Copies of this chain bind each other. A is one copy, B any other.
Amino acid sequence: MDNYMLEIGKKAKEASKILAGIDTRTKNKALMSVVDALLENSELIKEENEKDLKAAREKGISESFIDRLTLTDERIKSMANGVWEIASFSDPVGEIVKGFPHENGMKISEVRVPLGVLAMIYESRPNVTVDAAALALKSGNAIILRGGSDASHSNGILEKIFVDAITKEGVPEGAVQLIKNPDRALVNELVRLNDYVDVAIPRGGVGLKKAIIANATVPVIETGAGVCHLYIDSRAAIEKALNIAINAKTQRPGVCNAIETLLIHEESLGRILPFLAEGLVANGVEIRADEEALQFIPGAKAAVEEDWSTEYLSLVVSIKTVSGIAEAIRHIDKYGTKHSEAIVTESYEMAEKFLNEVDAAAVYVNASTRFTDGGEFGFGGEIGISTQKLHARGPMGVRALTTTKYIIRGNGQIR
């Protein structure tokens, strides 16, 4: 094990012990101090960001990538605003989840405590640096950040501003550490630091997540991949089907809770698909349909096998005809990512069957999948949407960054 990573791990663990005991007021003051520091230093942030942008342009990196990397006054303000919001969340640490007496008189309580040390591995959006550090601090955790090398200058200045601001309020500087050494092997060391890291959270593309899961020996929380479906049943109300399909596809196509595939009951093809296709196309959506569906939408592109498992994250939708709910559920089982799935139907039986049998973090009847979101579910913001089954499922608020411990107050009880 590299000494460099070990030192970072140790420092984080030491800081986490102090953080676990810091009260809510101090954490919130530290976060508000970050808000001020971000706004005051926006020129400096943009200067450092410009170095990353220059290097990226020289490397000929794609425009969309450069767009995600770019920090403007507007975006810095939005980052600061995000921290302000996190300060306003209620603090999960110290919450008594339950409390009950043992029959021998001991008082048992289950109390919420921080996880300890988080490791966040992410790609090139520098706002994640601030967002993740703020969420960690709010939940009393230390965090080790490993951002993409293309954003190294931006991440470096953001970390510096963050740490300067929180240490002024008495938070230990080990609370937030950015790995500055660009050696890629360090990521693998980081996710195997079982003595110091309590959980690894990858944020980014499928490749990054798979690599982390394959190499990690610390527990991993997986978030975000969303190949979501809307199934339009034979008994779907046409207006609901059109509204929900168009909303779920087009309201914000680049996010994980947007749909990628429409599953349409064969009996609904004729009465719904022509209107639906018209609506989709009017909203700029490209359609890739199977053979049966193509008969009702002449001129649309034919779907290929690969379409069923693609998360387009853009204005493209695939359409698959199914013989009924059983085939729809089988398709979702096979190609879905257990994120968000919806049915449009007026049938009580089909609605219940879909809710019971579809295995996903969120399952909808007659509503858009776009609601799978911490804010919409009332959790006050989110770290991500868990598509795994252990620890947390669905939108994760700061509470997902905590665990519990049992506290037992006795007066001499023995067994």
Q: With a CB–CB cut-off of 8 A, which chain B residues contact A220?
A: 219
In the complex where A199-B389, A199-B390 touch, is A21 in contact with B414 (Cβ < 8 A)?
Answer: no
Say whether B219 contacts A217, CB under 8 Å. Answer: no
Pairwise interchain contact A362-B217, C-beta atoms closer than 8 A: no
Which residue on B lies nearest to A389, using beta carbons?
B403
Residue total for A at the interface (Cβ-Cβ under 8 A):
68
Quote the shortest CB–CB distance from A18 to chain B (angstroms): 10
In the bound complex, CA of A362 to CA of B244 (Å): 48
Seen from chain A, the residues whose Cβ lies within 8 Å of a Cβ on chain B are 17, 20-21, 100, 102, 106, 108, 110, 113, 115-116, 194, 198-199, 213-214, 217, 219-221, 237, 239-240, 243-244, 247-248, 251, 333, 351, 355-357, 359-368, 370-372, 376-378, 388-391, 393-394, 403-415
Take A108-B377, A389-B116 as given contacts and tell me if A415 and B368 are in contact as well, using a CB distance cutoff of 8 Å. Answer: yes
Q: Are B405 and A394 in contact (CB under 8 A)?
A: yes
Contacts of A412 in B (CB 8 A): 237, 239-240, 243-244, 366-367
Residues of B within 8 A of A363 (CB): 405-408
Contact A405 B361, CB 8 Å, known A217-B214, A366-B410, A389-B198? yes
In the complex, the answer to whether B219 meets A362 with C-beta atoms within 8 Å is no
Given contacts A106-B371, A371-B415, 11 further A-B contacts (CB under 8 A): A17-B359, A21-B357, A116-B389, A199-B389, A355-B409, A361-B406, A362-B405, A363-B405, A366-B409, A367-B409, A389-B403
A415 and B251 CA atoms in complex are apart in Å by: 7
Across the A-B interface, give the 6 residue pairs with the lowest CB-CB distance, nearest first.
A367-B410, A247-B414, A389-B403, A370-B415, A362-B406, A391-B391
Q: Contact check, B376 vs A102: say whether CB atoms are below 8 A apart.
A: yes
Q: A378–B100 contact, CB under 8 A?
A: yes
SS class of chain A's interface: helix, strand, loop or mixed? Answer: mixed
Chain B, Cβ-Cβ closest to A372: B406
A221-B390, A409-B365, A409-B366 known; A415 and B247 CB under 8 Å? yes
- Bound: A293/B304 CA distance, A: 76
Kindly identify which residue among B217, B237, B244, B377 contacts A213, using a CB–CB cutoff of 8 Å.
Answer: B217
Check A404/B414 contact, CB under 8 A, given A116-B359, A213-B217, A376-B102: no
Name the residue on B nearest A368 (C-beta). Answer: B414
CB distance A102 to B410 under 8 Å? no
A-B contact pairs, 12 of them (CB 8 A): A21-B357, A100-B378, A115-B390, A116-B389, A198-B389, A221-B390, A247-B414, A362-B408, A366-B411, A366-B412, A389-B403, A394-B404
If A357-B17, A362-B408 touch, whether A115 touches B414 (CB-CB below 8 Å) is no
Cross-chain contact B389 with A406 (CB below 8 angstroms): no
Tell me the complex Cα distance, A20–B355, Å: 12
Establish whether residues A365 and B408, one from each chain, have CB atoms under 8 Å apart when the complex forms: yes
Q: Which residues of B contact A251 (CB under 8 A)?
A: 414-415
Q: How far is the CA of A415 from the CA of B368 in the complex (A)?
A: 7
Quote the shortest CB–CB distance from A93 to chain B (angstroms).
Answer: 11
Which residues of B sit under 8 angstroms from A413, Cβ to Cβ?
Answer: 366-368, 371
Give A288 Cβ to nearest chain B Cβ, in Å. 23
C-alpha spacing A366/B413, complex, angstroms = 7
User: Are A414's CB and B244's CB within 8 A?
Assistant: yes
Cα-based distance from A20 to B362 in the complex (angstroms): 16
